[in-house]
Amino acid sequence: MAGVAILKLLEQRILDQADIFGTDVLKVDMFLNHQIDVELLNEIGKEFFRLYSESGINKILTVEASGIGIACITAQYFSVPVVFAKKGYNSNVGSDIYTSDIFSFTKGVSSKIGVSHKYLGQKDKVLIIDDFLANGSALTGLIDIVRQAGAFITGIGIVIEKGFQPGGRLIRESGIRIESLAVIKSMVNGNIIFG
Ligand code: 5GP
């Protein structure tokens, strides 16, 4: 399936099956965040591979929990391992863990994420994958960890970016490539507009 087809498929699934909570939270439990449509994820993985296949990626990084499935399916196309940042470290973790603090958009709490020094280092060319991009805190934490490890950020792959929130703009302005498969321009009064 070519790029445009998966984008249209994803947009249609969002229109048909997503629920809007409050003004800015999109629930896609039907196919991405609770029940998982593996065929759709396969197409998403293929698309990330099409976009980044020339980049020499040797590792995919995500954050638990909802990024893991997407990252694993995507990794099959690149034949590379997935590393996921674990959540819930306390402040006195060992010195062999890179840590960063993130603020959860959906839960409204801060938490520490961490990756062992064993699984990320200077030789790594990293593709960061996540399900959503909102204010950019999760990505900023992952970028911080990649930089602490001395690894190279090749780019970022996001399934759904909420373009009316600032994360995407801020991270692109820092010079990092972000490819978002569906970008939501607005979701006012139950109307989801892509753009
Ligand atoms: P950010 O850190 O960019 O503010 O938010 C991204 C993270 O919060 C993602 O890892 C995702 O799990 C969660 N998130 C942000 N916005 C939404 C949303 O509208 N729906 C869902 N299901 N998760 C979201």
Examine the pLDDT at 18 and tell me if it is beyond 90: yes
pLDDT of residue 90: 77
Does the pTM surpass 0.95? The reply is yes
Band the pLDDT of 2: cuts 50, 70, 90: low
CA of 27, closest atom in ligand 1: 22
Would you say 162 and 134 are in contact if contact means Cβ atoms under 8 Å apart? yes
Element (H, E) at 172: helix 167-173
Atom of ligand 1 nearest to the CA of 140: 2
- Cα(101) to ligand 1 centroid in Å equals 15
| Residue-wise pLDDT tens digits, 134-159 | 999 999 999 999 999 999 999 999 99
pLDDT at 173: 98
Reported as a single tens digit per residue, the pLDDT across 82-123 is: 999 999 887 777 789 999 999 998 889 999 999 999 999 999
| Sign of CA pseudo-dihedral 127, 10, 44, 1 | negative
CA of 93 to the centre of ligand 1 (A): 25
Ligand 1, atom 20: closest residue by C-alpha: 26
Pocket-forming residues, ligand 1, beta carbon under 6 Å: 25-27, 33, 66, 105-106, 130-138, 167
Encoded amino acid at 96, one letter = D
Identify the pLDDT of residue 1.
Answer: 56
For the chain, give the mean pLDDT. Answer: 95
- Rounded to a whole number, what is the distance in angstroms from the first to the last CA of the chain? 21
Which segment of 11-15, 44-48, 186-190 scores lowest on mean pLDDT? Answer: 186-190
Atom of ligand 1 nearest to the CA of 26: 19
Q: Where does the pLDDT of residue 175 fall: very low under 50, low under 70, confident under 90, or very high at 90 and above?
A: very high
Atom of ligand 1 nearest to the CA of 136: 3
Which strand (E) or helix (H) includes residue 84? strand 82-89
**Of the residues 106, 111, 184, which should be mutated to test ligand 1's pocket, given the most ligand atoms within 8 Å of the CB?**
106
Flag whether pLDDT at 191 surpasses 70: yes
